[in-house]
Structure 1
Amino acid sequence: MHPVKSPKKLIEVALPLDDINVAAAREKSIRHGHPSTLHLWWARRPLAAARAVLFAQLVNDPGYQRELGYGVNKQEAEIKREKLFQIIRDLVKWENTNNEKVLNRAREAIWESWRETCHLNRNHPQAAELFNPEKLPAFHDPFAGGGAIPLEAQRLGLESYASDLNPVAVMINKAMIEIPPKFAGQRPVGPLPNGEKQLRFEQDWPGATGLAEDVRRYGHWMREEAFKRIGHLYPKVEITPEMVAERPDLKAYLGEELTVIAWLWARTVKSPNPAFSHVDVPLVSSFVLSSKKGKETYVQPVVEGDRYVFEIRVGALPDDAKQGTKLGRGANFNCLFSNTPIQPKYIYEQAQSGSLGQRLMAIVAEGKSGRVYLSPDILHEEAANQVQPEWKPAALMPENPRWFSPPMYGMKSYGDLFTPRQLVALTTFSDLVQEAREKAINDYRAANPNPSTRSGTGLDEGSLDPDDIPLAQGGSGATAYGDAVVVYLGFGVSRLSDICNSLCRWEITKTQVRNLFGRQAIPMIWDFAENNLFGDAAGDFQTSLKSIVRVIERQTMSDLPSSHACQDDAVNQSVTRGKVISTDPPYYDNIGYADLSDFFYVWMRRSLRRIYPELFGTMAVPKEQELVATPYRHGSKEKAEAFFMGGMRRAIHNLVVQAHSAFPVTIYYAFKQQETKEGSTTSTGWVTFLEAVIQAGFSIDGTWPMRTEMGNRMIGSGTNALASSIVLVCRKRLPNADTISRRDFQRQLREEMPEALETMIGGETGQTPIAPVDLAQAAIGPGMAIYSKYEAVLNQDGSRMSVHDALVLINRAITEFLNPDSGNFDADTQFCASWFDQYAWNSGPFGEAQVLAQAKGTTVDGVKEAGVVESGSGKVRLLKWGEYQSDWDPTTDKRTPVWEACHQMIRRLQNRGESAAGELLAKMPEKGEAIRQLSYHLYTLCERKKWAEEARAYNELIGSWHAIVAASHEIGHVGEQIGLDL
């Protein structure tokens, strides 16, 4: 086999990780126009992280030229690397998502690297197939899920392929990467809603903006048409004199008809007390309707004999209103009449026998100055209860309480999660999707009357009219355009089901209906909110559709490469061959994607089955092949684990065999748990997954922690900081890989790890270092690269070294590199670091301190003279940075250990900011590298001992290092200029 010459990519050497993580965390708060609002998907990768990983996976690291004997030294490589880092910093900002100037800089760097790689492989036997300098290789994600990674590959200029076993995931990917480029530049064809005037894009409609506008227009038509058909099911509420007599605060609305925003319901069971066994008592977790200051409102149940009514009260919230009728966690309630506890077992039995009812608890209407809360109205209750739906989803939920609790309460099918009125509404909108399709097709034909002219080829006799070719068969004419419009309208219905079901709660702080999927499960709730689909608020169909339109509108780039999404099993598919791979496979049993997505599939299937008949051919989402370790599906935990690991190894082996050999493969791993033993952080699931990747035939060249849950440069109080996911950077292991001994493995760690760690912590150019909170995981990469490139590392007894044992040795090598005793630090600093390890900021015996100081080559008096300890009364204590001299100047200090310089930097950073810290560094630039290395060591020490406050200080110093160095250089430049002027 002819070997491929593959330069190391940037992601195999270094990343501006902190910048990526900050952008990824910020992105979680962005909603308008974000692809995540197109349709819900679970555990979606941040766009910033996906874009940065792909870019770094595609561009050559500048240091590769040194490996090939080119005249580039270490410092020059770092300067070039910093330029690539700056591209990434600009690339990950949300506001630059569609910035052509920023994207073109990234694309140019990708093309430059690709042409270099093609030149190196110009004599390869498959050069014409694999190394065409005029065409970038295509991209593929075999576990495409929510589509973030394929979308970003397309944005960076690659033809993107997305595949997934799950039809809902396939549709999300089609809507994001396949459909918009197909209709780029298309003018809208739908009629404007009554009363509207054309205000934007009179001439040109860039990217998919015309498609987005048609989705808006036909969506508006659907809402108006639905209101004609079912609007009577959503009555307004009239404020009568009788209501004002009881509630003077309603006087301003006397005689008005208010639009209802939501109806709030309480589930009921028969009272367990024999005296009231004929009464349906409410199961309510809270009677509070609004906790907004000055607008506090709650429901007051008024009991009269064996009857009760719900009345609205305004004012201070009593404790019993906050508690409702609930007793503790789970299905534990109290009988409103007898104070008899209602046990979970009793509620289960009532629910399973069909005795779980519901009763209207309150009506929320829209007033002139906010929400208006009203007591139940019998006409409104009857309007909801007398509805008879003609259809409801019959697919059953799994008997898996971990993700699904409604089946325990008699709600067996997905259709049982909706009230009759909600079922009628959703089926009405689903049916209107197909009616909108016919309108869009006809309007497109009217706006474009000559298909042969549009195609530029004319029609042969007997050939199919381009306008008749559907979207699923590659069409781009009238029928395909109508199909494309209704894909997004179908998404609107599917999204609507998330906030139009009987498991939605009323949010008392924002006073609105909240959707079901707040987490990756379908939990049971007791008092629920039913929204008005025509209420111009959260839960209105048009409000739901606006989010989708905003996402399509942001597809303003007209030159995106055509891309494809298909249904395929990652274990057995061949779409991958010769493509760049980055993927986020399911992790073990974290999320039951197939089971959960059935909730949406049943509605998507009803709306879109005619568009994609093969994709929606089954009654439910395929589950048998899904790579998730679910014991209820496989019979036991052991069988589920064996199924998952066996399937994952085969899927990863597919990547080993088929991926483009010039690029590493990146795999996201959902980091879940960690264990700290003997100063080494590891994880059982992490070790198992690494074993699977290596056994599949990969070597691992990098491990980059991607954090999205934490704020900038902060760690959780008293806890280890966990990455949301780890990106594994993998290469195909050579077929003739050798075995080595444990001793040789340790020798290579000592020889190769220091340079890799120096690059990660920033080198000498001031490039952004990896924050200490991330170093432990990122530094595993270079160590695993040594371990996994061999067929095996053999212990002294000839057995194969496990991944766990290799991780222990790698972590030990990291600790040795960072340790002040490594010879890179002065004697005073070595003493302080060892004393800190034992006593932190507390006092210790003078005699013990003197012995330690002498062993390090210094004395307690000498360290005291340096100004970093206090000594007296037989005790020695390290001074904390807040106790250091405020006017300290290293240029006049006669004894300045690195320990002192480091903590003076922390003091200056915390009190006066990065510029002031930079000013201090400018006075002692020769200590910069040692200060930084000491900070890493002390962070690692504090993290291991769970000293959260101290760890945060060292992490913040490193996190600010790039800005501090930049400030010090600016001050140095000004000083040089003043000297020249003088």
Structure 2
Amino acid sequence: MTSTNKYKKKLIEVAIPLEAINAASAKEKGSPFLKGHARALHQWWARRPVVACRAILFSQLVDDPSGYTAKLLDDPKIRERAEADLAVRLKAWRERKADAHGNVPDTPEPTLEDCAADIERKRLFEIIEELVLWENSTNEEVLERARAEIRRCCGGSLPPVYDPFSGGGSIPLEAQRLGLPAYGSDLNPVAVMIGKAMIEIPPKFKDLPPIHPGIKERSFYRNAEGLAEDVKNYGEWMREKAWKRIGHLYPQVDLPKEYGGGKGTVVAWIWARTVPSPDPAFSGSQVPIASSFLLSSKSGKEVWVEPVVDKQTKMITYRIRHKGTASEIAVAKEGTKAGRGANFLCKLSDTAITSKHITSAGKSGQMGQRLIAIVAEGKRGRAYIEPSEEHEAIALSAKPNWRPEQRQPDNPRWFSPPAYGMETFGDLFTDRQLVALNTFSDLVHEARAQIEVDALSAGLSPDPTPLRNGGTGAFAYAEAVSVYLAFVVDKSADYGNSICGWNSTNQNIRQLFARQAVPMSWDFAETNPFGKMASFSGFCESVLGGLSGVLPAAFGSVFQADAAVSSFPVPNCAVSTDPPYYDNIGYADLSDFFYVWLRKNIKSVFPEISSTLTVPKAEELVATPYRHGGRDEAEEFFLRGMTAAISSLARQTDTEFPTTIYYAFKQSEIEEEGLSSTGWATFLQAVISAGYCIVGTWPVRTERAARTVAAGTNALANSVVLVCRKKEAAAEVITRAEFIRALKRELPPAIAELQAANIAPADMPQSAIGPGMGVFSRYKAVLESDDSPMSVKAALQLINRELDEYLGGIQGEFDGDTRFAITWFEQHGMAKGDYGAADNLARARGISVESVKHAGIIESAAGKVRILPRDELDGDWEPEGDGHLTVWECLQHLVRKYEKDGISHDTAALLKKIDAKAEAVKDLAYCLYDISANKRKDAKEATAYNALIADWTELTRQAAAIHDTSGDRQIRLDI
């Protein structure tokens, strides 16, 4: 944007505590069983971390302190601190200028206003750092502190927030938690229902006690606690009713003596699919195709199924084996597989069962299933029991009165079963599973009627206004509870289908949607809905847990709409949204799995949302080649549709707030194409074509250490948050040369600011896109030499080139010994090189090899030179006593101390001792990260520098609290 902004900059346009947000996001992602998390309510794909959404919304609404420094300096305490900071910064700035040798970009002289703004930003960062902690999700004191800041910056009120691609509802949920009126919309009816259940329904019945006639769990109910208790109570009511109707289909089993004897409740029946033997000699015999026979892989307690073959009778029976040799267990782990994919061996004849044979059997209705094991609750844990003809016969006797006939899409990327004859969504279930789901679905409707009766008895209004029309009486309350009970049925379907495999590691069932697809499963676990694993009661508890984390602190509304044509629900909304990502996930296709059940159970409650037989797909903004006639056509559809949708946002957005838009990289983009990937470039093009100027990009990662560096390359964050403002109406057209000059002028100081904010080196490439695209997108067009408009992909490549030049250019500010070490490391790493080459390199920098050796950086002997690894550096080194101090030594000693002790008093003390060179040390860490990750492909070395910078803020804070106490260099921590 131009320097004459007509709006107040918000915090997110300048700086955010990115590492704190990323750390909290990673913790949320890595803790799948967080109590009160929205994901427990209903399955959705690729939800953004809610703590990240919370932080982004706060930063989007709160003013950046650069806009009110005069007011800040009116405070004597802030002025005093700012003056002290300015003295230090001016000294460092002058030294940097003097040492730069003209090789680093000029940076503006620091001012008192800069220091005051940084002091205030630090205060706002501390609020965010508290806000993103998961344990503070319902902490009213922390939340109210954040709300007060938003009110201060928004004229005393809390502005409405709108997400036109609300999906799993993370953004409107967190807006509501911050007290903001929350609105969301989505084309997908499953997403709409999730949103209604999270942010629209709970405020209607906030603080209401439960209405069930049983004993109440507490005397006082807050937020959605009463609603949640009723969901649990009527869920148990449904379970009891269901047991009376279909309990006979789930018999107990006789436990062997080693499991304590007596009767045991079955938790799962393990089945293997079967096909006719391909050997004509065994014509008519069904043989198993199982990917594994292993039931428990726990060391010393291995359990597996062993097929027993009788070639005379052409029969295969199954027995349970315990322990055994390593080779026996390895064989069991492979099942009947022979190589990758759908390739197996016939147990009767050892002939190959090809993928083609299995496909033919499935398509012709010849694929069957065979019970191979029973898992029960023994007196000392899981009990594994041989299959029973009685149990198999009971399972096969079930006859459902309804099955979903909607067809799965013909798209093997996301749906494998249709290739094997399982073409409808009903085909994904066994008959017994369908009977159970039908029974529970019938009971959702019966429970709704019972809840209304009980609600009237409890004193709720007899007002017949339905929930969809704003009703809050007994009738609407019954509908509300039944929505959550319908979610319990959906969860039952997710775990109660014939694609769910058995996990031998934790001896539990795998849910269908462990990933964003419906794969084929050759052996599967059928659970007992009345047992203790993946049970109906357990799913009630899960929905209850998800509902308990909802904080209805403000009004909420979610409605069905196409983002390309929808209007804002109210004026002056702040917009934050998480749209579909090119071709990453087929939301509509996948959602049909749940929609066929959800529609059956809530059609009377929300008839308009449930009006279609399947989820709407034609308008879904996903670049799906099979739907649009090819990859090019799909890309064109995505670009056109996303441009229309974002253009609609741009036309209606309030200029007071920037718009934030999330983009999620898929793994192939990260590993193959990176910052210039087709999906990423297409998405950016849509945003710019819609009339937005991109003023910031913040990489939000949900996986930390293991993904910091991947295979020695820059590892992109999982998501990037784009910060956008409306483009100026009088935007100019410029040439490629003018664009490059503008980049060279504006990008270096912007990168310097990002470094000053301690953006981790791994995140720098994505963060630098913000100011780079800010230059590109503020113009009407950038013209190439042939007068054609420059593509976003070309602009991204130029931005990345300028970043590389900047990181290379900062080498000029280091001492000669350090500059020698950088170049030597880039060429040789830690390996030896010829003395002659080292001598030439040193002379070019005005020093000698002996100088670098004297500095303690290299070893020179026998005509060879090598850089000393960190573990060979002097363990008693002290910077105060080093008469030949270099930036290289300071960094390497600091990294060694950090690798050993992490964020500790000793690490902070060392940083304090090298305080005069601290900024140069940080610059060198960025430089060496770039060399290690991108040029030497040394993931381990790159990770060391990235980790240090990631924790630089905390180390600096601790170092600042350390004071000299005497001339003996002893230090103490100022607590």
Question: SS at the partner of 1:63?
Answer: helix
Pair 1:403-2:406 in alignment: no
Distance 2:69 2:239 in 1: 64
In the other structure, the counterpart of 1:55 is 58
Superposed displacement of residue 797, structure 1:
5.2
Distance 1:680 1:894 in 2: 45
Cα distance, 1:743 vs. partner? Answer: 4.0
Which residue in the other structure is 2:252 paired with? 236
Distance in 1, Cα, partners of 2:475 & 2:917: 69
Q: Which residue of 1 aligns with 2:100?
A: none
Number of the residue aligned with 2:134: 94
Counterpart Cα distance in 1 of 2:687 and 2:736: 21
Name the residue aligned to 1:82: 122
Which TM-score applies when normalising by structure 2?
0.91
Task: Tell me the alpha carbon deviations over residues 736-772 of structure 1, each in whole angstroms, 9 at most, x when there is no partner.
Answer: 1122344443343333333322322236xxxxx1111
Pairwise CA distance, 1:972: 2.2
Answer yes or no: is 1:422 the counterpart of 2:433: yes
Shift of 1:605: 0.7
Cα–Cα, structure 1 residues 77 and 751, in superposed 2: closer, same or farther, change >3 Å?
farther
Which residue of structure 1 lines up, in the alignment, with residue 106 of structure 2? none
The Cα of 1:675 is off from its aligned counterpart by 8.0
184 and 353 in structure 1: CA distance in 2 versus 1, 3 angstrom threshold: same
TM-aligned CA deviation for residue 795 of structure 1: 4.2
Paired residues for 1:131-210 under 5 Å: 134-192=156-214, 197-198=215-216, 200-202=217-219, 204-210=220-226
Out of 850, 855, 865, the residue aligned to residue 854 of structure 2 is 865
Q: Which amino acid aligns with 1:803?
A: V
Give the conservation status (yes or no) of the 8 Å contact 1:815–1:937.
Answer: no
Once residues 933 and 359 of structure 2 are traced to their aligned partners in structure 1, the CA distance between those partners, rounded to angstroms, is 46
Structure 2 gap segments, 5+ residues each: 75-111
Match of 1:103 in 2: 143
Aligned-partner residue type, residue 249 of structure 1 = E
Distance, in Å, in 2 between the alignment partners of 1:348 and 1:676 is 33
Residue 532 (structure 2) aligned to one of 529, 536, 553: 536
Matches within 5 A, 1:696-775: 696-711=690-705, 714-762=708-756, 769-775=758-764
- Secondary structure, in 3 states, of the residue corresponding to 1:517? helix
Match of 2:663 in 1: 669
1:300 and 2:306 equivalent?
yes
- 1:277 paired residue among 263, 267, 283: 283
Aligned mates of 1:342, 1:158 — CA distance in 2? 60
Q: TM-score, normalised by structure 1?
A: 0.91
Could you tell me which residue of structure 1 aligns to residue 17 of structure 2?
Answer: 16
Q: CA separation in 1, counterparts of 2:27 and 2:902?
A: 22
Deviations 1:500-538 (A, max 9, x none): 11111111111122211111111111111110010122x
1:244-393 equivalences in 2 (<5 Å): 249-250=258-259, 252-253=260-261, 256-304=262-310, 305=312, 306-316=314-324, 318=328, 319-393=330-404
CA–CA distance in structure 2, aligned partners of residues 761 and 823 of structure 1: 17
Q: How does 1:941-960 map to 2 (within 5 A)?
A: 941-945=931-935, 946-960=937-951
SS in 2 for 1:972: strand
Q: What SS does the aligned partner of 2:524 have?
A: strand
Tell whether the 8 Å contact from 2:858 to 2:866 is kept in structure 1 after alignment.
yes
> What CA distance in whole angstroms lies between the structure 1 residues aligned with 2:970 and 2:268?
70
Could you tell me whether the CA contact under 8 Å between 2:66 and 2:117 is conserved in 1? yes
- Cα 1:720–1:680, aligned 2, differ >3 Å: closer, same or farther? closer
Alignment of 1:428-827 (within 5 A): 428-448=439-459, 451=461, 467-537=463-533, 539-555=534-550, 557=551, 560-575=553-568, 578-672=572-666, 673-674=668-669, 682-711=676-705, 714-762=708-756, 769-795=758-784, 798-819=787-808, 821=810, 823-827=812-816
The DSSP-based 3-state class of the residue aligned with 1:851 is helix
2:231 counterpart residue number: 215
What is residue 98 of structure 2 aligned with on the other side? none
Kindly provide the CA deviation profile for residues 403-430 of structure 1, in whole angstroms up to 9, marking residues without a partner as x.
1111111111101111111111101100
Amino acid at match of 2:853: K
- In 1: Cα distance, 2:413 partner to 2:56 partner: 33
Contact kept in structure 2, 1:434 and 1:607, CA below 8 Å: yes
The 1-side partners of 2:617 and 2:291 are apart by 35
Change (3 A) 1:750 1:626: same
Matched, 1:928 2:923: no
Structure 2 counterpart of 1:184, which letter? K
CA distance in 2, matches of 1:942, 1:93: 33
Give the SS at the match of 1:565.
strand
SS across alignment from 2:384: strand
CA contact (8 A) 2:38 2:549 kept: no
Cα 1:681/1:943, change in 2 over 3 Å = farther
By how many angstroms is 1:941 displaced?
1.4
Partners in 2 of 1:357 and 1:913 — Cα distance? 57
Contact persistence 2:713–2:934 (CA under 8 A):
no
Cα distance in 1 between the residues matched to 2:891 and 2:390: 73
Secondary structure of the equivalent of 2:48? coil
Deviates more, 1:499-508 or 1:59-68: 59-68
**Does 2:148 match 1:114?**
no
Q: Distance in 1 between matches of 2:608 and 2:972?
A: 76
How far is the alpha carbon of 1:285 from its aligned partner?
A: 1.2
Unpaired segments ≥5 residues, structure 1: 116-133, 452-464, 764-768
For residues 447 and 61 of structure 1, the distance between their equivalents in structure 2, rounded to whole angstroms, comes to: 51
Whether contact under 8 Å (1:742, 1:793) holds in the other structure is yes
Contact 2:674-2:716 at 8 Å conserved across structures: no
Do the aligned residues in 1 keep the contact of 2:28 with 2:134 (CA within 8 Å)? yes
Going from structure 1 to structure 2, the CA distance change for 1:928 and 1:321 (only over 3 Å counts) comes to: same
Cα drift, residue 684 of structure 1: 3.0
Give the direction of change, closer, same or farther, for the CA distance of 1:979–1:525 in structure 2 (3 Å limit): closer
The 8 Å contact of residues 760 and 950 in structure 2, kept in 1 or not, is answered as yes
The count of residues paired between Structure 1 and Structure 2 equals 921
Name 2:105's counterpart in structure 1: none
AA at the equivalent of 2:12: I
TM-aligned CA distance change 1:795 to 1:393, over 3 Å: closer
Distance 1:907 1:613, change over 3 A: same
- Superposition deviation, residue 916 in structure 1: 1.5
Amino acid paired to 1:276: F
Structure 2 counterpart of 1:171, one-letter code: M
Identity of aligned residues (%): 50
Q: 1:79 and 1:67 mapped to 2: Cα distance? A: 13
- State the SS of the aligned residue for 1:11: helix
| Mapped partners of 1:509, 1:110: distance in 2 | 48
Query: How many angstroms apart in 2 are the aligned matches of 1:44 and 1:683?
Result: 22
The root-mean-square deviation of aligned C-alpha atoms, in Å, is 2.3
SS of the equivalent of 2:68 reads helix
Q: Structure 1 residues 352, 680: CA separation in 2 closer, same or farther (over 3 Å shift)?
A: closer
**8 Å CA contact 2:659, 2:723 repeated in 1:** yes
Moved more, 419-428 or 961-970: 961-970
Per the TM alignment, residue 109 of structure 1 is displaced from its structure 2 partner at its CA by 1.3
Alignment of 1:810-849 (within 5 A): 810-819=799-808, 821=810, 823-849=812-838
CA drift at 1:53 = 1.1
* Residue 485 to residue 492, structure 1, CA distance change in 2 (3 Å): same
Question: Partners in 1 of 2:67 and 2:799 — Cα distance?
Answer: 24
Q: Distance in 1 between matches of 2:715 and 2:319?
A: 48
